[in-house]
Copies of this chain bind each other. A is one copy, B any other.
Amino acid sequence: MSLASIGVAMAQKPNSQVLDQTISIDRASYEPAYAQLAGILRQSMATGILRPGNQLPSEAQLCERYDVSPMTVRRAINLLVDQGFVVAEQGRGTFVKPVAMGAATFQLRDLQTLFNDSEHTTVHVLEARIVDADERVARKLEISSGERTIYIRRLLRTDGLPVLYHREYLIYDPLRPIVEAELEVTALQRLFNGTGETILKHGDINLEATILTDEEAKILQAPQPMAAFCFEHLFYDFDDKPISWGWFIGRADCLKFSTQVGLLMDRKERS
C-alpha cells in the first residue's frame, strides 16, 4: 500500500471515513458554518489525517456528514483553494496540496508598521526642487528630456535612527494639485497605505538587493560595505501616464521579510 493511501484506509468510495466523526458544526456560533467547515478540514490536514495528495471527501459527502447545503460546502472548499491548501479539479476531486517553498509570498505590508507608527516614525524632506529631466528620468516618466520634474529626497527615521532613504521624481504639472500634496511629510504614508485622496491608478514595484553607495551609506549612517533592499516604484494616473518614479532604500540589517508556507492554525477566514 502506498503512502498516499494510508489516510483512505479500506474505503471503497474515496474516503469519507477520513473525517473526525465527533466534531460537528455549531450553528449557534458566531463563526459562520463555512468557516467552521474549512477549519475542520484544515485541522484534518494539520493532524495528518489528510495528507498531501489525498483526496478530500466529495462535496456531496461533506453536505451529508455536516448537514449543510452544497453552497456552504462550496464556500469552505473555495476558501481552502484560495488559501492554497488544496487544489480542486473538475470531474476528479479535491486534493491536498503538498507544501512548497515556491508558494511563499512576501508582503510589503510588513513595512507598513513603520509608516503608521507616527509615535516613533518621522519623515524629513532633505531636498525638494525642480530639475530638468535627464534621459533616464524622461524615459521612465515618458516625457521629453529637459522637461521639468520635481525631485524629492526624504529620510524616514524610527526613534531618530534613519531606516529608509527615499528619492522620487514627479511629473511637474501646474494644473495638478499634486505638487503641494506630495511635499507634505504625510505623503509617504499616503503612498504606502493609500489613506486619503489618491489619483493613482496602478503601479509597478521592483525589489532588488544592492550595496549602499557612499551617499546612501552616509545618509543612512551605515558602515560600509552594507547590503540593502531597494524598492523601485513607478506609479501611473488614471490616464495611464506615469506620475512618479522613485526608490526606497533600506539597510539590510534593519529590514527582514518573513513568511510561512503550509498548514498554520491561526488563519483568518474571509470571502
Contact = CB atoms under 8 A, between A and B. Distances in A.
Determine how many copies of this chain the complex contains: 2
A205 B270 contact: no
A178 B228 CA distance: 36
A100 interface: yes
Given A211-B211, A261-B203, A264-B202, A197 B53 contact: yes
A258 B111 contact: no
Interface string A229-271: 1010101101000000000000010011111111110000011
A21 interface: no
Interface stretch (A22-30, A60-68, A101-109, A132-140): A101-109
Interface stretch (A8-16, A122-130, A142-150, A186-194): A186-194
A81 interface: yes
Nearest to A205: B104
Interface residues of A, number: 71
Contact of A99 (B108, B115, B198, B260): B198
A39 interface: no
B48 A209 contact: no
Contact of A261 (B78, B99, B202, B260): B202
Nearest to A259: B205
4 smallest A-B Cβ distances: which pairs?
A202-B262, A100-B194, A98-B194, A209-B252
8 contacts: A46-B201, A82-B270, A98-B200, A105-B105, A203-B261, A207-B258, A209-B210, A210-B252
Given A200-B262, A202-B260, 8 more contacts: A52-B197, A82-B271, A97-B194, A99-B201, A102-B109, A102-B111, A225-B225, A271-B271
